[in-house]
Amino acid sequence: MEFPSCFAIAISCLVPIFIAIITKLIHLQRPNPNLPPGPKPWPIIGNLNLIGELPHHSLHNLSIKYGPIMQLMFGSFNVVIASSSEMAKQILKTHDHVFATRPQTAAGKHTCYDHSNVTWAPYGPQWRLGRKIYLSKLFSSKGLESFHNIRAQERHAFMLRLFAVSGKPVVLKDHLFHFTLSVICRMVMGKKYFSESSWSKMEDDEERVVSREGIQEMLEELFVLNGVFNIGDWIPWLGFLDLQGYVKRMKDLRKRFDRFYEHVIGDHMARRTQKDFVASDFLDFLLGLVEDPHLDVDFTLNGVKAFTLDQMAGGTDTAAATVEWAMSELIKRPNIIRKANEELDRVIGRERWVEESDIQNLPYLNAIIKETLRLHPVAVLLAPRMALEDCKIEGYEIKKGTIIFVNSWSIGRNACSWESAEEFCPERFLGKNIDVNGHNFEFLPFGSGRRMCPGYKLGLKMVSSSLANLLHGFSWRLADENMKPQDLDMHELFGLATVRRFPLVALVEPRLPQNLFY
Ligand code: HEM
């Protein structure tokens, strides 16, 4: 028999066996509320097949049936899922110190420089150093203010690019990504370092090693690979087989990022040798740390790359996907767009664009953003945490090493906390003191506690100011004239950031006077 058909038969035999192994290895366990006080066991109630459904949907359905805290055996690991605001509070506040670390995954190892970025770092000195630097240098009020001009310039450039394609079908996400990536690159690396031209023109552009489309593709792949169910993570003895080919993809991706960072770091190093060198961006500051003998961690060039990656990953797709979800919900509901436009016309007027300082005066716009983050929190299961020691929640023992997911997507749709939970209704937030700062456990789009998103204020600034100007500057309709707005497909693509499965394609027409577009 020739090789290809041999191979095909072997694969077709292996796949069902493999699926059988996996489904046998996933057990659902749930607490029994009728047991006397004392440690309560988690009885096994059956095997589950979570394959084929989006994980946050399956876990949401299970939590409706089995309660707000349940334990799964997932391969070799215990996994606890919290699906209510009370359980989220227990994990992210009451026992935050116990669940402050992350599991070590192949993605953290191969794509994030051996877990040396803040997102995947174990709870320890490297993580503490990163958070301290981010919160003091980038996300403090002073830090955020110092990059105000960059955000304003890039936002204006974004509006001009949209204007240039008005009347033609626009893939909104690509424009949003261009905006968020430009802001983050300039904040962190001093300039964009990617070519604005398309692939074909790249060779002419000597200073850039990657095109904008190329880096977007790399970051999207990073999010996918950091969110996948990689068998080797859950069943370590099968890891060497790399059955799904994910580890190979991770290694390939790391090479592409290395090539990019080596160019950027090389450029910064060359500047450091100049006589009149003054550190002027975040990367300069990080390179200074590599030479610092007083740090209590061994901070290397890999640390520089990893911390830079945290910003590029954390700040681009998340904010772009949130605005894309918001516009998708709005395009289906012209009456909400009308109310937002009425507020913008009244507060801002048609003679100028919306500035960041205006956002606090736009309660309806803020309510739209909160409603979007409630129904479409891009990190649907937050980022996984791991128990550093044994702990008891509601009488149930959680063993050291257990992996914890907080189902933020499910919490945002919990009928006990939200009336008509499945409806997109910004009005529910008007006059309410519900915020995204991690103190309201029924609403956790940025998480809470020690590992809460450190960049949430920047994320919110980019989301709110871009959405406000998209609504103020343009009128919107679907590019497919035959599709009714209410039929717009809202399916998700699961990953560390859960994005639209099919990008939103729209037609825009300017709403403001022509002179504002030059
Ligand atoms: C709309 C925008 C954003 C959303 C929805 C978002 C959401 C999140 C969520 C849910 C987490 C996990 C929190 C947890 O485990 O409790 C997280 C972590 C993180 N985010 Fe964000 N984020 C956004 C923007 C940003 C920005 C702008 C940056 C940086 C430029 C950033 C950097 C990070 C980092 C470094 C972590 C890891 C924190 C840690 O493990 O200690 N994020 N983000």
Distance 455 CA to ligand 1 centre (A): 6
What are the helix and strand counts (H, E) for the chain? 18, 13
The SS3 call for residue 196 is coil
Nearest residue to 287 (alpha-carbon basis) of 270, 304, 302: 304
Q: How far is CA 513 from CA 473, 474, 507, 517, in A?
A: 9, 11, 18, 8
Assess contact for 384 and 405: CB atoms under 8 A.
yes
| Every domain of the chain and the residues it spans | 125-517
In this structure, how many other beta carbons lie within 10 angstroms of the beta carbon of residue 259? Answer: 11
Identify which of 127, 147, 374, 453 to mutate to test ligand 1's pocket (most ligand atoms within 8 A of the CB). Answer: 453
Q: Which residue(s) pair with 507 in the sheet?
A: 477
Assess contact for 316 and 187: CB atoms under 8 A.
no
Mean pLDDT, residues 114-141: 97
pLDDT of residue 35: 54
152-166, 207-221, 241-255, 261-275: least confident range: 207-221
Q: Could you tell me the pLDDT band of residue 2, with boundaries at 50, 70 and 90? A: very low
pLDDT of residue 7: 45
- Provide the sign of the torsion angle of the four alpha carbons 44, 47, 52, 53, taken in this order: negative
- Ligand 1 pocket, 438 CB below 6 A? no
- The residue behind tokens 């500035």 is 355
Distance 460 CA to ligand 1 centre (A): 11
- Helix or strand (DSSP H, E) at 393: strand 391-393
- Helix or strand (DSSP H, E) at 132: helix 125-133
- In the annotated binding site for heme, the residues are 453
CATH architecture of the domain 125-517 equals Orthogonal Bundle (1.10)
pLDDT tops 90 at residue 22: no
pLDDT tops 70 at residue 50: no
Dist CA 241 CA 435 (whole Å): 45
Dist CA 402 CA 71 (whole Å): 9
95-104, 369-378, 480-489: least confident range: 480-489
pLDDT of residue 496: 85
> Per residue in 308-338, pLDDT tens?
999 999 999 999 999 999 999 999 999 999 9
- The gap from C-alpha 473 to its chain's centroid, in whole angstroms, comes to 27
Structure tokens of 512?
């403001």
Q: Could you tell me the pLDDT band of residue 51, with boundaries at 50, 70 and 90? A: low
Dist CA 386 CA 399 (whole Å): 10
pLDDT tops 60 at residue 138: yes
pLDDT of residue 38: 56
- In the annotated binding site, the residues are 453
Closest C-alpha to ligand 1, atom 11: 453
> Per residue in 81-125, pLDDT tens?
999 999 999 999 999 999 999 999 999 999 999 999 999 999 999
Q: How far is CA 342 from CA 75, 364, 370, 462, in A?
A: 54, 10, 19, 22
Distance 516 CA to ligand 1 centre (A): 34
Across the beta sheet with 474-478, what order do the strands follow?
A: 170-171, 505-510, 474-478
Assess contact for 392 and 91: CB atoms under 8 A.
no
Mean pLDDT, residues 266-270: 95
Structure tokens of 302?
């890999």
- Ligand 1 pocket, 382 CB below 6 A? yes
Q: Could you tell me the pLDDT band of residue 27, with boundaries at 50, 70 and 90? A: low
- The residue behind tokens 């370590």 is 236
Q: Could you tell me the pLDDT band of residue 1, with boundaries at 50, 70 and 90? A: very low
pTM of the model: 0.91
Give me the chain's average pLDDT, please.
90
- Ligand 1 pocket, 306 CB below 6 A? no
Dist CA 123 CA 139 (whole Å): 21
Identify which of 446, 448, 467 to mutate to test ligand 1's pocket (most ligand atoms within 8 A of the CB). Answer: 446
pLDDT of residue 63: 87
pLDDT of residue 202: 45
Mean pLDDT, residues 330-357: 98
Higher pLDDT among residues 197 and 414, named by residue: 414
Go through 20-29 and write b for each residue having 16 or more CB atoms within 10 A of its CB, e for each that does not. eebeebbbbb
Q: Could you tell me the pLDDT band of residue 444, with boundaries at 50, 70 and 90? A: very high
Of ligand 1's listed atoms, the one at least distance from the Cα of 446 is 10
So what's the ipTM on this one? Answer: 0.99
Give me the half-sphere count of Cα atoms (radius 13 Å) on the Cβ side of residue 52. Answer: 5
- Ligand 1 pocket, 447 CB below 6 A? yes
pLDDT tops 50 at residue 369: yes
Q: DSSP letters along 226-276, please? A: HHS--HHHHSGGGGGG-TTSHHHHHHHHHHHHHHHHHHHHHHHHHHHTSTT
pLDDT of residue 518: 85
pLDDT tops 90 at residue 407: yes
pLDDT tops 80 at residue 476: yes
Distance 452 CA to ligand 1 centre (A): 7
pLDDT of residue 77: 92
Of ligand 1's listed atoms, the one at least distance from the Cα of 383 is 15
Percent of the chain with pLDDT over 70: 88
